[in-house]
Amino acid sequence: MKLDQVRSIALFFALGLMDQKSAQQAAQKTIASLKAKFGDRPSSPDAALWSTAAVLAECRKQWKTHARSLPGHRVRTGDEHFVIPSDFDLQVWRRYQKDAPEEDVMATLMKNLFHATDEELAEGLQTSVGTIRFRLGKSVRQLGLSIRSQPKDGPIT
């Protein structure tokens, strides 16, 4: 497994679940599952199985498991559960994540963190390319609204 894949998996769960413990567990289980299925060496005959779609599918599976364990079956967004640098503002992301459907959040994170094509996203998320494009377009509009509604003198409260 490549280091950039591990990093993308970790960031996906950190930003997606916004709960440090759940994010660590989900990332570890995803990586362990991928290694068990496909081996650890990208140069092995099973290297093709380490496709982006396979990684996305495993991330989706772990997301569903870990998101259910959070209160209200929804991501937790409180600072008390997720350690971030004090100068890093996640208010716009939190607002988007609170308002957007889970599948849109997942597609947005996967597109940007894994640099996945629409086709890879569709395969990994088990849906059509048209649905992926719709979700991503809707997410861009929703994030734009969150940014525009942010007060000019500071972060969203």
Q: What is the pLDDT of residues 86-95, one digit of tens each?
A: 556 678 888 8
Model pTM score: 0.72
Number of domains in the chain: 1
Alpha helix (H) residue ranges in 18-148: 20-38, 52-68, 91-99, 102-113, 118-124, 129-148
Q: Is residue 94 part of a domain?
A: yes
CATH code for the domain in which residue 67 is found: 1.20.140
Q: Is residue 153 part of a domain?
A: no
Q: What is the pLDDT of residues 48-65, one digit of tens each?
A: 546 888 899 999 999 888
Residue 79 belongs to what domain range? 3-148
Q: Is residue 70 part of a domain?
A: yes
Q: Is residue 101 part of a domain?
A: yes
* Mean pLDDT for the chain overall: 79
What's 80's DSSP letter? G
Per-residue model confidence (pLDDT) at position 157: 46
